[in-house]
Amino acid sequence: MHSHTLLGIDLGTSALKAVLVTDQGRFIASASRAYPIRRPRPDRAEQDPSTWWDALVGCMGALRDRGVVEGVQAIGLSGQMHGTVLLDRQGRPLGPAVIWPDRRSISQVARFGQQVGLERLIRIAGSPPATGFMAGTLAWFQEHEPQLWARVRHVLLPKDFLRLRLTGEMATDPSDASGTLLLDVGQRTWSPEMLAAAGVRPALLPQIRPSAQVAGFLTQEAATALGLAAGTPVVTGGGDTACSALAAAAVSPGTLLLTLGTGGQLVWPVDRPQVDLQGRIHTFCHVLEPGVDRAGWYQMGATLAAGMALAWLREKVFGLSGEDAYAEMTSWAQEIPPGAQGLLFLPYLVGERTPHMDPQARGVFLGLTPSHGRGHLVRAVMEGVALALFDAFQVLAELGAVPRAGILAGGGSRSRLWRQMVADIFGLSVRPLQTAEQSATGAALLAGAGLGWFDPADAARQWAALGPVEGPDPGRRARYRALGAVYRALYPRLRDLFPGLAEPDRAPEADP
């Protein structure tokens, strides 16, 4: 058994993952336990914090059964961002946690934006106001649950509540705190102005510590429950996006991280906290402390339907369900030239985030003719997703992004055709990330850095397992440039028509 084992824990939205790695970043084992999102009303999204702890105990039990948990030297934490856990004087939850898809605070968020002023808010907090973020949730409780609010003594983010259970200590880090709208993102400290606007006493919030600093030690009770040694150091950790960027070695401005999951994300690490005053992207703190050739912040754009668009085509249009369905669809698309012979797809199936911020936008096929078949549809959908990501990237480019290389993560990164499209459309060499359990691995890396074993940015570059380079082809790049011009002209022409398509009995909604 390796004597330098690190444990990374990622408290996700739907499951908790625990990963064991060596101090060289070599994967040893992982386990996962799912838990539900409770939706007592359509605008609510809640989780019982005890299910997070139960999931961790279950994961550790599974890893113990495989005989791989001896020698854990430190624990790192990553977690879903924006959520809110209200605690009493003893540090016990006063009710379920309110997590990021929750929409109950629409009116509080609107008021918060008006009160502070949108540009001022973005300048300080780095992001436009949104439901599910802690600031709005806390304002909702003050207004709708004043008796409960009177009993609140501490407020924690999800992964910080887990650390409280592990160590008895309360803390948070800049990367997760920057998802609350209560942080001064440039200063990496709580903002007195934002706290005052949200009606939050500073004493309710935990101390902010660096992500790679030891924030406490495993209590005897927690150690017994998990089968680990009491006194094991637990580092502060970070938000899941920042931890996954660390595991992908997106640690300096030369690297753009593109994630093709259900939705698509762009993460551009930056060494100074620039914001987009139009609110089209988020500027969050990274898990790295600012320094030379290391990004203390990252800018993030998002497109809502990436893999979701291909899954829609597979299930609803082609009715395919086998394990090889995507491979079959890709083989059809490979026979079709770039540009799908004049067929374009806008992937706005559930609205769009960057750059349009329009929940009423809808998916569109443009240019259908009798000669178009299934391969054209697949190719157009894949190209449409890549073009949507490039559209989002234009905002980062406006703010100065000039990446030298791209790293592609998420399920879509396994498709060589999709990687090639991204390389051609972005004019960038891209490599697929092959690191399993990205966020949990980033948390484990922070644990090793907290022990002083290595510098986190250096270790990230050594740990990241990257596949072969896919470079852009000049001919295809020119074709996509022409196609991109048509693609970008479409949304402004259709924007005013989308609301007319909404079903009269309900306004369309898109998860952030």
Distance CA 218, CA 157 (A): 19
| CA count, 13 A, side-chain hemisphere, 175 | 36
The answer to whether the CB of 268 falls within 8 A of the CB of 305 is no
Using DSSP's 3-state secondary structure scheme, residue 84 falls into strand
Distance CA 415, CA 411 (A): 8
Active-site residue identified among 10, 160, 240, 391: 240
Cα–Cα separations (whole angstroms), residue 319 to 71, 340, 363, 378 = 48, 21, 19, 13
Q: Does the active-site annotation cover 240?
A: yes
Instruction: Tell me the chain's radius of gyration from C-alpha atoms.
Output: 23
Which of the 8 DSSP states describes residue 168? S
Two tokens, residue 434: 């092959």
Using DSSP's 3-state secondary structure scheme, residue 172 falls into strand
Query: b or e along 127-159 (b: 16 or more beta carbons within 10 Å of the residue's beta carbon)?
Result: bbbbbbbbbbbbbbbbeeeeeebeebebbbbbb
Amino acid at 87: L
Two tokens, residue 359: 């929940």
Distance CA 451, CA 445 (A): 10
Any idea which residues carry the catalytic annotation?
A: 240
